[in-house]
Amino acid sequence: MAANMYRVGDYVYFENSSSNPYLIRRIEELNKTANGNVEAKVVCLFRRRDISGNLNTLADSNAREFEEESKQPSLPEQQKHQLKHRELFLSRQFESLPATHIRGKCNVTLLNETDVLAGYLEKEDCFFYSLVFDPVQKTLLADQGEIRVGSKFQAEIPDKMAEGEADPRVQEKLETKVWDPDNLLKDSQIDQFLVVARAVGTFARALDCSSSIRQPSLHMSAAAASRDITLFHAMDTLQKNGYDLAKAMSTLVPQGGPVLCRDEMEEWSASEAMLFEEALEKYGKDFNDIRQDFLPWKSLASVVQFYYMWKTTDRYIQQKRLKAAEADSKLKQVYIPTYTKPNPNQILGPGSKPGVNGAAGFQKGLSCESCHTAQSPQWYAWGPPNMQCRLCASCWIYWKKYGGLKTPTQLEGAARAGSEAGPRAHMTRQEVQGMSPFTRNEGRAKLLAKNRQTFILQTTKLTRVARRVCEDILQPRRAARRPYASINANAVKAECMIRLPKATKTPVKSKLIPRQSLAAIVKDLAVSAPLKLKASRGPPTPINRNQASQPRVAQSLLGKRGFDTAAGVPYPANGRPYTSGMRTTSQSVIKRQKVSQGEAPNPVVFVATKDTRALRKHLTQSEMRRAARKPHLLVRIKLPPPPPPRSLAVPLVPSSTNEPIVLED
């Protein structure tokens, strides 16, 4: 019962996806919606897998500095790998999640210099944080909650002096005397002088125009004059004048007018006070952020002084009562039963219903990707579906809680990309691309800066060797047909390193293709595409439908070949035969202009007609392939001889003529 009871301030696991690790959040509020459901307002904590590679490098350097300063014992590589899964990054980002998505409690503490890092690995569901992550600015900063201990922050206490020993230090350099309790004045005289100082302060506010606007009534001015700033000024005046009341009176009221003393409560306007209350509601007592984001024109000392004066006002008491009333009306705790529904990533038995990620088609004999065990009461699909990776029951729980595998593996990065269906809500598309395991580290900064910049993929020698050795895994033909499907390059290279010693003993079968000499290639190019002299331009030809012109060869745009001629038979680009009275493409009298690449029209669409399909039947399969590989060459079709003409009673008349149609009986 107590394990399923969640209260405000608890660190809990939230599940937003069946294949992704849990989200770690801290409950700030529990609110009941109009539908009767419970929503939790939580503070977001991020893992290392949620931040970019540059910030991970910064976190590694901070961890090394902490280990050197605190003198941590050395750990093996596997424990260092698991320790990164226990590190979190606090943030000030809030979000609302359904309380039914809670999957358990965890413990998150601020890393202290006295902590031993290996102790976090011995405890279950135990995490630590030392840096604060800003999802908007994409920065990592040290948390300000650290305890400042040492000679840099505390004063060094000297040894105790013996009785009767004179202090050799100069007292004026060490401290300033502001009040002498052994003065000649009586307490009643001092009280009378303070009353006079308050009266002078009230009169000074009546003479000041700005003060009369802020305190329009007499009692408000008198209350402002009775603050500590006026009393401190009066006692300081007595100290400077040697506790002579006559001199102190003349100092309070000089020749220019009475002295006006104001504190931060009077200096701040009503709008500035409202901004301060809004900032205090958002940031709490973090005065640096309050000054930086809301009141940059105020000094830090002014903000701190105003806070402690503001706490003495009725406004603070009213807000405190309202917050207490709101806290009483909100939920203090909520009971969430244990989640018992099966995970869709479970790999079920042969007779069971298949699950997600192709669970029913898994090969037998596969081991766990984390601990490499072959026996488990339950298996779970993990990573991209085409990799057919799986985890045992214990490693699956470790993956869900800590966001990684127990042992470092190259497939962990690929599984991270495959398990996440889309970009995270708090990250942009460029950042998700920068976190991809298939993007090189040196190219991530350029990708984030200019995502539309032209780039090339330069393969290494190991990649070229892996294409030959692991051709059965890579399947280059299938990958060429599906360029949008991702390829796990890390898995292919890992398999290549295993097969490479065996592959070097057996020579790779390759078919040598003899290359022609340069002279033969130039000769073939000269025959296939001879140079033509550019004809001089003549006078423009008038457009006249009845005027005949010399036939010219029409060059197709963008290098496309139309079915203009086939064995001497004229055919247009759309496959329909020419009729009498219709002008062909080669008979056009309009002079064609060269079209630049930028002003090129839309691609030409060839519509195959019945006659075009009939012509294709006369081509063999090898001729069709040759035409597809070399579209710049003309296709010559050998047509069978036409059948002898039949005698018709009614002669065929062209469809387009200028003479009347006459039918003879």
pLDDT at 230: 87
Query: Which residue, 614, 610, 618, 612, is CA-closest to 636?
Result: 618
The pLDDT of residue 450 is: 40
Task: Please give the helix or strand (H or E) that residue 402 lies within, else none.
Answer: helix 393-402
Listed in sequence order, the residues at least 6 apart from 560 whose beta carbon sits closer than 8 Å to its beta carbon are: 603, 604, 606, 631
Q: What is the pLDDT of residues 391-438, one digit of tens each?
A: 999 999 999 999 999 887 755 544 444 444 444 444 444 444 444 443
Cβ 276 vs Cβ 220: under 8 Å: no
Which DSSP letter does residue 136 get? Answer: T
Contact present, 385 and 357 (Cβ < 8 Å): yes
- CA pair distance 303, 286, nearest whole angstrom: 11
Q: How many other C-beta atoms are found inside a 10 Å radius of the C-beta of residue 74?
A: 8
Q: How many CA atoms lie within 13 A of 559 on its CB side?
A: 5
What are the extents of the domains in the chain?
A: 5-142, 187-262, 273-333, 367-408, 461-504
Please report which helix (H) or strand (E) contains residue 526, including its range. helix 518-528
Q: Which fold has domain 367-408?
A: Erythroid Transcription Factor GATA-1; Chain A (3.30.50)
How far is the C-alpha of 199 from the C-alpha of 194, rounded, in Å? Answer: 9
Q: Phi/psi at 44 (nearest 5 deg)?
A: -85, 135
Mean pLDDT of 182-186: 87
pLDDT digits (tens, 9 = 90+) for 63-104: 998 888 888 888 888 899 999 999 999 998 999 999 999 999
Beta strands in 123-205 (DSSP E): 126-134, 139-142
Nearest CA to 613 among 574, 586, 584? 574
Residue with tokens 């006002």: 313
pLDDT attached to residue 437: 40
Long-range contacts of 234-239 (CB under 8 A, 24+ apart): 234/193, 234/194, 234/197, 235/178, 235/179, 235/194, 236/178, 237/197, 238/183, 238/185, 238/190, 238/193, 239/177, 239/178, 239/179, 239/180
Which of 91, 15, 19 has the alpha carbon at shortest distance from 422? 19
Model pLDDT, residue 178: 86
What does the pLDDT read at residue 358?
39
Evaluated on CA atoms 67, 71, 74, 79, the torsion sign reads negative
pLDDT value at 481 more than 90: no
Q: Does domain 5-142 have CATH number 3.30.70.1450?
A: no
Cβ atoms of 106 and 128 closer than 8 Å: no
pLDDT tens digit sequence for 509-550: 656 677 788 888 888 877 776 555 555 555 554 444 444 444
Give me the chain's average pLDDT, please: 76
233-277 pLDDT per residue, tens: 889 999 899 899 889 888 888 887 888 888 888 888 888 989 999
Domain 273-333: which CATH number of 3.40.50.1000, 1.10.4080.10, 3.40.50.1360, 1.10.10.60: 1.10.10.60
Nearest C-alpha neighbor of 554 from the set 525, 595, 582, 524: 595
Return the CATH architecture of domain 187-262: Irregular (4.10)
Three-state SS string over 482-498 comes to: CCCCCCCHHHHHHHHHH
DSSP letter at 634 equals: P
- Statement: residue 285 has pLDDT above 50: yes
Give the pair of three-digit tokens for residue 623.
């001729």
CA distances from 228 to 201, 223, 257, 385, 469 (A): 12, 11, 21, 73, 85
Q: Give every CB contact of residue 199 below 8 A, 6+ residues apart in sequence.
A: 225
257's torsion region: left (phi>0), alpha (psi -120 to 50) or beta?
left
